[in-house]
Amino acid sequence: MGSVETGQIATLVQALLAVGARQLIVDLDHVGQCDPALIAFLERQRRLIATAGGWIIVIGAPPTPGDDPSSLVEIFEIYSHVRGLRDPHGPVAIDSA
């Protein structure tokens, strides 16, 4: 993925955030190579959106959970939020699912 594709993804993410999106999943799983500037951009956006109570998950980059800058607490908060969206009665305890 070159600078053109990197710019397109960055523009799309910025547009989604500008219209109010606060939960984004960016799937880079099938990307062979990625411009480091895109990863840096996504990380900056992830930190900014987290201050507003949102989240961005990047799939496929970084390639391993050990490289992911998200804390385990953040990951569980995201999981709880997504579960709460699917259950009309609110978040469900993991053990009861």
pLDDT 10s digits, 41-67: 898 999 999 998 899 988 876 443 445
Give the chain's domain count. Answer: 1
> What residues contact 90, with CB distance under 8 A and at least 6 apart?
84
Q: Give the domain CATH number at 85.
A: 3.30.750
pLDDT 10s digits, 12-29: 999 999 999 999 998 887
* Domain with 57 in it: 3-96
Question: For the residues of 43-74, what is the DSSP string, one character each?
Answer: HHHHHHHHHTT-EEEEESSSSSGGG----HHH
User: Taking the complete model, does pTM exceed 0.85, yes or no?
Assistant: no
Query: Exposed, middle or buried by CB within 10 Å (0-12, 13-18, 19+), for 30?
Result: exposed
